[in-house]
Structure 1
């Protein structure tokens, strides 16, 4: 029988073992970042994503500025954003099948060439079209860019595990989202406002053409996966339908994948609805010009970046499900405070910065773990379909609420609409916590 001192030593040893295990996991997490960054092919994928997203966000911001300038309507802004979400509903599942069947590098190459042509058409419309036709062209431009993005996003998400391996997925997703965040800052905060002030929206379109072509050149140098195609594959619609059902069946059979899909879908819907309300909020509630209002998003980016670093470097401290629950809490608390801020002068500027910082942090704590679940659990041949299915659900969930959100904001006010969204988000946080305890 163990004596009391030896029993205590045993407990200390067990405790030390657990502590060392966490330390080892932390050291491993820190080592994964340099390893991922040394991967030249992954760096190229990040560079291609960054360059193309800078163009996309710049054109998107120019489109919002034009719609707000022409219409001053949240409903019209919602219609513009709806035009960018509808393609996800129409083409998202098809994109997943295409990405799983064909070389993903070629898919990204073709999409970037086509996006360059769309940006060129946008430039011509700004130069020559009157307002009514320009609005229609803006909607069509965002529709086409979003349709092509379905294929690019699915291809990128399915390519990351191939380039870095499944053990480094969390670190790779963190770095990849940093690249995405940086592209938002470069496109929304730097490039688009600068070009709008200096030369107008047509300059944004021309620079977009150049950037999409640059992304095409970077993608060419990515390694190709060896895909084994069956004879006659890709020729029968029945085969495509079978593969689509396989993706749905896998999601519904895996509880963690199902929950991650629903959580990302809700976050996508919420983000798009907030994007619909944001221009009107800063213009009509805060009284800030649209071209300058984008700088209010800087704390969101800082919060999102901190969340990425926190999950990427300290992800072992909590399970993925707990990180997601914490993210919903931060997001809900930030949104619940936002409607009560009607000025950015004096001390209110600091309060506003902290509120939107919490929103960005919450989004990161939800997005990174949930995306990692969708990438690490499906087999390699099904990742594209699983990722695209989530994108389709996100766009489908936003199809009705987004235009309704813009109309509701015109009817009852933007502040009340944001408050309703905050209450729904806190409800999602409560449901996430209950799921963990259950």
Structure 2
């Protein structure tokens, strides 16, 4: 790392405090934790717009395969359209993170909502004129994936400028709850609206993104401390590499990122294994749907409890507690034959990860200099997306190779191995609380 880059890294912990003071100046009434967020007009506007936008996206995600099946009758082409969203988001993830660090972040978010509204409106018109084909659906899906690749790191990077430093954990947790709530409501709404009419889910998506766009217009996002936003598009590859190096060269960023990636990978595999196991045991499809809903409900409750747990537990205990809970809970599925009880197990498993995610994400955001936060989001988004995509493939391979109970125990063994590594990690044992982040420049590395 160059001397200039090292100087920026050493000064990074001071930036969140400046950001917090700047955001606090916008609304002197803010303070405390959850109460402060409730009084934070700008965060409320962003959060409300995005919960509606998430519902619109999830509605479209459910309606896409139903629409392709109705048009072509091909399950393979349904998968192609859905896969286009994920592939576009993964391919664009690293460049998008670098662009977020160059461009004005609020304008990026506004543009993403506007483009998604236009794309969904174009699909509605094509359906109305009976001119929609698979090619158009893939194009719309790609646009959605590209917009999400840009929006997500832009929003995450903006959080420390939108809320005071002590409210960042609460904002991270509420964003997680928002995502889960949007996915649950959108998933339920998508099938219902499609039954009303083929184009109805996409009409809802248009209005969802328009609502989010208007909400964003009124969000007052303080200016960034650096003057790099809007600089010319030069050396994009070099900037992407700078972001990758930053994440890899910071031990706590590297270790916590690997924790999140391994959790996504093995739990995605475990989830598919349990669904197949439940089906093989004759659990009705309705109960399997309830299982998925209870998983989402557990995640929402966990996200709501995350700020409290974050304040009460040390970062080390929060992180290893999640892995130990998974290690102890995941093998219980071998002995459960009821879909409702499996759903309760899913809810218990989903309850704790939001607390660890809050601790990890808060540290990552506050420790990373503002001019690198977009690239941090891009790197972590791509890594997490790859883990989430490979997890089901791993689960499917385990199901093909092993009996259901053995596949469950194999997933548990993998999680247990990661649990032991995290438990004995010196880097995690020295993980700082949020209040200590600003003092890291005076603390020797682990």
In 2, Cα distance between the equivalents of 1:168 and 1:231? 25
Partner of 1:210: 207
After TM superposition, the structure 1 = structure 2 runs for residues 46-65 of structure 1, keeping only pairs within 5 Å, are 46-63=47-64
Relative to 1, partners in 2 of residues 1:60 and 1:421: Cα closer, same or farther, differing over 3 Å?
A: farther
In 2, Cα distance between the equivalents of 1:52 and 1:389? 23
- Pairing 1:308–2:309 present: no
User: Which protein is richer in helix relative to its size?
Assistant: 1
Partner of 1:88: 89
Aligned 8 A contact 1:89 1:396 in 2: yes
Partner of 1:424: 414
Unaligned runs of 5+ in 2: 1-30, 431-446
Name the stretch that deviates more: 271-280 or 44-53. Answer: 271-280
Q: Secondary structure at the match of 1:226?
A: coil
Relative to 1, partners in 2 of residues 1:282 and 1:156: Cα closer, same or farther, differing over 3 Å?
A: farther
Relative to 1, partners in 2 of residues 1:142 and 1:419: Cα closer, same or farther, differing over 3 Å?
A: farther
In 2, Cα distance between the equivalents of 1:418 and 1:354? 17
Relative to 1, partners in 2 of residues 1:211 and 1:314: Cα closer, same or farther, differing over 3 Å?
A: same
Number of residues of Structure 1 aligned to a counterpart in Structure 2: 394
Partner of 2:154: 155
Question: How far does the alpha carbon of each residue in 1:270-322 deviate from its partner, in whole angstroms, 9 at most, with x for none?
Answer: 465567678767766655447x8544333223322332233302323322232
- Pairing 1:322–2:317 present: yes
Aligned 8 A contact 2:98 2:240 in 1: yes
Aligned 8 A contact 1:83 1:143 in 2: yes
In 2, Cα distance between the equivalents of 1:423 and 1:253? 29
Partner of 2:190: 192
Name the stretch that deviates more: 392-401 or 159-168. Answer: 392-401
In 1, Cα distance between the equivalents of 2:266 and 2:79? 13
In 1, Cα distance between the equivalents of 2:124 and 2:395? 30
1:385 to partner: Cα distance: 1.1
Question: How far does the alpha carbon of each residue in 1:369-419 deviate from its partner, in whole angstroms, 9 at most, with x for none?
Answer: 221121111112211111211111222345555445446646767776555
In 2, Cα distance between the equivalents of 1:279 and 1:123? 34
Relative to 1, partners in 2 of residues 1:401 and 1:80: Cα closer, same or farther, differing over 3 Å?
A: farther
Partner of 1:394: 384
In 2, Cα distance between the equivalents of 1:277 and 1:141? 31
Aligned 8 A contact 1:115 1:145 in 2: yes
Partner of 1:233: 231
Q: Secondary structure at the match of 1:31?
A: coil
Unaligned runs of 5+ in 1: 1-29
After TM superposition, the structure 1 = structure 2 runs for residues 33-52 of structure 1, keeping only pairs within 5 Å, are 33-52=34-53
Q: Which has the larger radius of gyration?
A: 1
Relative to 1, partners in 2 of residues 1:325 and 1:108: Cα closer, same or farther, differing over 3 Å?
A: same
In 2, Cα distance between the equivalents of 1:308 and 1:359? 13
Aligned 8 A contact 2:64 2:82 in 1: no
- Pairing 1:269–2:268 present: no
In 2, Cα distance between the equivalents of 1:118 and 1:276? 32
- Pairing 1:250–2:249 present: no
In 2, Cα distance between the equivalents of 1:259 and 1:267? 12
In 2, Cα distance between the equivalents of 1:31 and 1:232? 34
After TM superposition, the structure 1 = structure 2 runs for residues 98-137 of structure 1, keeping only pairs within 5 Å, are 98-120=99-121, 123=124, 128=130, 134=134
- Normalised by the length of structure 2, the TM-score is 0.76
RMSD, aligned α-carbons: 3.6
Partner of 1:164: 163
